[in-house]
Amino acid sequence: MFEVDQLVWYNGKIVPREQADPSVASYSLHLGIGVFDGIRAFWNGDRYYIHALDAHIERLRRNATTLEMEVPYSTEELKVGVWELLGKIPQADYYLRPLVYRSQPQIFIKDRNQMAVDVVVLAAIAPRNQVVKPLRCHISPIERVSHRAMPISAKICGTYVNSYLVRLAAEASGVDEGIMLDRSGKIAEAAAANLFFIQGETVVTPALTPDIFPGITRATLIEVAPSLGIEVIERDIYPQELGRFEAVFSCGTLSEIKPVVQIDEYQYNSLDNGVFRKFLDKYREIMQRF
Ligand SMILES: Cc1ncc(COP(=O)(O)O)c(C=O)c1O
């Protein structure tokens, strides 16, 4: 699982992965200056379903501009690249990772515009979650990096040191996941997933401030909620409210939807919660599409 395939789409061609390796002197490798995205391709019997491919690719291209990197391929060209890669590798459920970076050896910037922008799409086998694995969480001692320091609504490689440290802290505390607060103490999100909280029939999720990553899974769940008879309220949520919720879940492209059964001293019966099950069933139905 998560083994990266030997073939990649790199600057317009399917090539062996090594051809896309950045130089050890690459500026992107040293400083984390690059952007990526995470996409799932589910093999549904005789073809793939890719959820919101346009939205993922457009997000990648938009995010690259926050680092003044213009992706030299259109959304259409990148989509064709994704399908081309899937056509060349064994049929399976994949996590696809497009990455925009500068591979050439150049430690110091002389002229950014002279440095080529590279694009690679990697594919790693990632079977969908057949079993719903509940998460035990804590409020992380690591704060969400402020949008005043980095544009965190973009998936910038270097920003993920923040998520990495959240995971390390969770591991050290013996829980599965950390929940980050923003610098004003509001609940932001998990290391790489957005959060939803359930109280009776009411569902709340942290409002999209610039300190929260605007997840595509989050947007999908908000979009389908009315068809499930559920209203989702986007608002500020504080840790002081955690005792009032009956259920909590996280969502993200890679992690899918996961029930949270504990946040510090609070316990939740999320797995059996009717509202959570409705979201889970709907999510699974969508990902089974062709
Ligand atoms: C910090 C963070 N929050 C939330 C998400 C969920 O976003 P999406 O649903 O687009 O995968 C991700 C994953 O990309 C993430 O890295």
Residue 1 is assigned to a structural domain of this protein: no
Q: The domain containing residue 88 runs over which residues?
A: 7-125
Residue 130 is assigned to a structural domain of this protein: no
Mutate to test the pocket of ligand 1, among 217, 222, 249, 287 (most ligand atoms within 8 A of CB): 217
Here the CATH number for the domain that contains residue 239 is 3.20.10.10
Does 202 share its domain with 118?
A: no
What is the reported pLDDT for 290? Answer: 66
* Rounded Cα distance, 160 and 4, in Å: 19
133 vs 269, residue with greater confidence: 269
Give the chain's mean pLDDT. Answer: 95
63 vs 103, residue with greater confidence: 63
CA-CA distances (angstroms) from residue 225 to 28, 42, 280? Answer: 40, 22, 11
* Rounded Cα distance, 181 and 162, in Å: 12
Here the CATH number for the domain that contains residue 120 is 3.30.470.10
* Rounded Cα distance, 196 and 159, in Å: 23
For helices 75-88 and 53-65, angle between their N-to-C axes, nearest 10 degrees: 120
State pLDDT tens for residues 40-88: 999 988 899 999 999 999 999 999 999 999 999 999 999 999 999 999 9
Does 76 share its domain with 147?
A: no
Which atom of ligand 1 sits closest to the CA of residue 56? 10
Which residue owns the Cα nearest ligand 1 atom 5?
Answer: 193
Which atom of ligand 1 sits closest to the CA of residue 37? 14
Which residue owns the Cα nearest ligand 1 atom 4?
Answer: 193
What's the number of domains the chain is made of?
2
- 153 within ligand 1 shell (Cβ under 6 A): no
229: left (phi over 0), alpha (psi -120 to 50) or beta: left
What is the reported pLDDT for 109? Answer: 76
